[in-house]
Amino acid sequence: MSETAAKIIDGKVHAERVRSRVADEVARLRADYGLQPGLAVVLVGEDPASQIYVRSKGEHSLAVGMHSVTHRLPADASQHELLRLVGELNADPAIHGILVQLPLPKHLDEQAVIAAISPDKDVDGLHVVNAGRLANGVPALIPCTPLGSMILLRETVGDLTGLNAVVVGRSVLVGRPMAQLLLQADCTVTIAHSRTRDLQAVCRQADILVAAVGRPRMIRGDWIKPGAAVIDVGINRVPFDDPVKAAAGRTKVVGDVNFKEAAQVAGWITPAPGGVGLMTVAVLLQNTLTAAKRIAGLD
């Protein structure tokens, strides 16, 4: 790997490639089989960030030629109402992917809702059946952010065989599935976390470092092996460095990696924003396409 300043991994470019491939395949399925992949997104409550995410998912699914529906429930919707809607979507032949936007209001049981989604339509990849399939190395619907991160690695670094990979974070949404994907790519994988002894030394061994810990700019430049590929999954809101903007309560998004320091050491690095986050919706579309093909017996 190069020891020069890092090459920036542009998430926008890679996401556009994924969406283009999905759009071409959706058009082929519609022409050859009369099959239009369908995505249903469920939003409970009025959380502003969730509303933005849901609108973006709907717009992107329509743009690639998919059938797209959004179901909005009030913030005080009951567990029974939400589970009934999920059951209806499970039974709907026009819907191949179901995504319940998280987080849910506190009175709702997220795990029960995820468990109620058909594993074959679980395009978030959070159902325990899909987690088990991934762990066993058999076809599964994989969480979007780890899968998007792997696409970035394969399209930039190339062959990952034999590389040392360190994943900082052990969540079921990112850290654990990311480790499974790297293992399947024949990497030697370490999962690190808040209890890891001498975390800096562990990170410095990594040819591939994935930061998914949820702490702004925690990974410093001297934690990184020269020439390593750094995938920053973090999305953290912090006050602006400008005191005037900070005093006005304005915030900006930063990753889990100190980008300025890391970019001087790494071989490749994703910015935040502009990196992994842009891949997440693109991979959601890819997962919906995959689900539609498998349900139809075409994959």
| Widest CA span in the chain | 59
Query: What Cα–Cα distance (Å) separates residue 36 from each residue in 30, 65, 66, 82, 142?
Result: 6, 8, 6, 25, 21
In this prediction, the residues of the chain whose per-residue pLDDT falls under 50 are 1-4
DSSP-based three-state secondary structure for 59 = helix
Dihedral (Cα; 143, 149, 150, 152), 10-degree rounding: 140
pLDDT of amino acid 136: 94
Tell me the Cα Rg of the chain: 20
Q: Are the C-beta atoms of residues 58 and 13 closer than 8 Å to each other? A: no
Dihedral (Cα; 217, 254, 53, 59), 10-degree rounding: -130
Q: Which CATH architecture has domain 143-277?
A: 3-Layer(aba) Sandwich (3.40)
pLDDT of amino acid 197: 95
pLDDT of amino acid 237: 83
Do 33-119 and 143-277 share a fold?
Answer: yes
For 33-119, which CATH superfamily applies?
Answer: Leucine Dehydrogenase, chain A, domain 1 (3.40.50.10860)
Give the whole-angstrom CA distance, residue 136 versus residue 76: 39
User: Any idea where the domains of the chain sit in the sequence?
Assistant: 33-119, 143-277
What is the pairing mode between strands 268-269 and 236-239?
Answer: unpaired
Residues annotated catalytic, as ranges: 57, 101, 124
pLDDT of amino acid 265: 96
